[in-house]
């Protein structure tokens, strides 16, 4: 039998839609793979099927996962969805298939002997760790218009996870977090629901117009970090272990 490869949008809705469509094909799941986004690696003797994102179909898959596999498995899958990993879509699909075939689907994530479950678990760990790091490493700068602005460059698409965290802690603030890798703006108007804007360009000159208070605090913070450092105990290797270089370029004390 010819393998089917479902090509879908690299998003939760896109991948969940592809899972829905995979079940409608009525063939062995072992002959179906999912591909999120565009790739240059094409498989011979396989049929590629383009899947259009459908929020209704995606919602049905999400509800099935929640009902049959449980909230914990659903959270693991959501974290894995945010990873930048070529094989994540197929891994998530096969994990869902395995969970639905089990008598107790809520135990599916404990089946680490399965390659697909193990990959989903690893992606979940990787994304959660980066999210946890950025909850502490994100640095906001107050602009002239009193908006708090932050620029980040995460490996994974975690901006929505950060949204819930900072919206809970800064509910009365206007703030923007910009993911420069994916050109995504997270916008939080004070005392309102946050939302994302995708594909817009960042006005670098505008976001460098700091308020006078911000300039003063930045200088004080850098001076503080410099003064508490003990040169004789400097350990760059340990610093990179605790605070990777890729985070430092976005932090006030290292700029």
> ∠193-199-200 over CA atoms, to 5°?
80
End-to-end CA, the chain:
57
Q: What are the tens digits of pLDDT across the range 181-227?
A: 999 999 999 999 999 999 888 988 888 899 999 989 888 888 888 87
Residue 248 has pLDDT above 70, yes or no: yes
User: Among 40-44, 143-147, 213-217, whose mean pLDDT is lowest?
Assistant: 40-44
Cβ(159)–Cβ(184) under 8 Å? Answer: yes
Q: What are the tens digits of pLDDT across the range 54-106?
A: 999 999 999 999 999 999 999 999 999 999 998 999 999 999 999 999 999 99
Rounded Cα distance between 76 and 37, Å, is 21
Cβ(143)–Cβ(149) under 8 Å? Answer: yes
User: Among 36-40, 53-57, 104-108, 250-254, whose mean pLDDT is lowest?
Assistant: 36-40
Identify the helix (H) or strand (E) that includes residue 235: none
Rounded Cα distance between 250 and 6, Å, is 37
Rounded Cα distance between 142 and 148, Å, is 5
Q: For residue 156, what are the CA distances in angstroms to 70, 91, 118, 202?
A: 24, 17, 18, 20
Residue ranges of domains in the chain: 3-130, 138-254
Rounded Cα distance between 97 and 102, Å, is 9
* Element counts in the chain: helices (H) and strands (E): 10, 8
Rounded Cα distance between 11 and 76, Å, is 15
The pLDDT assigned to 234 comes to 81
């Amino acid at each position: 039998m010819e393998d089917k490869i479902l090509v879908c949008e690299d998003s939760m809705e896109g991948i969940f839609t592809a899972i829905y469509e995979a079940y409608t094909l009525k063939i062995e799941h072992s002959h179906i793979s999912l591909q999120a986004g565009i790739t240059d690696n094409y498989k011979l003797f396989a049929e590629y099927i383009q899947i259009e994102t459908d929020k209704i179909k995606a919602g049905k898959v999400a509800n099935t996962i929640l009902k049959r596999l449980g909230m914990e498995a659903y959270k693991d899958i959501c974290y894995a969805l945010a990873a930048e990993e070529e094989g994540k879509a197929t891994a998530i699909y096969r994990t869902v298939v395995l969970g639905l075939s089990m008598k107790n689907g809520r135990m599916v994530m404990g089946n680490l002997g399965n390659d697909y479950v193990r990959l989903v678990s690893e992606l979940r760990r990787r994304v959660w760790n980066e999210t946890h790091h950025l909850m502490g490493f994100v640095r906001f700068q107050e602009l002239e218009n009193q908006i708090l602005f932050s620029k980040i460059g995460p490996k994974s698409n975690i901006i929505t996870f950060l949204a819930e965290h900072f919206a809970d802690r800064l509910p009365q603030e206007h703030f923007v977090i910009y993911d420069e890798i994916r050109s995504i703006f997270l916008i939080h108007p004070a005392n309102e629901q946050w939302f994302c804007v995708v594909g817009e360009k960042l006005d670098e000159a505008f976001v460098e117009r700091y308020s006078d208070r911000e300039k003063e605090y930045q200088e004080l913070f850098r001076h503080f970090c410099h003064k508490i450092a003990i040169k004789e105990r400097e350990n760059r290797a340990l610093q990179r272990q605790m605070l990777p270089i890729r985070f430092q370029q976005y932090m006030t004390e290292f700029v």
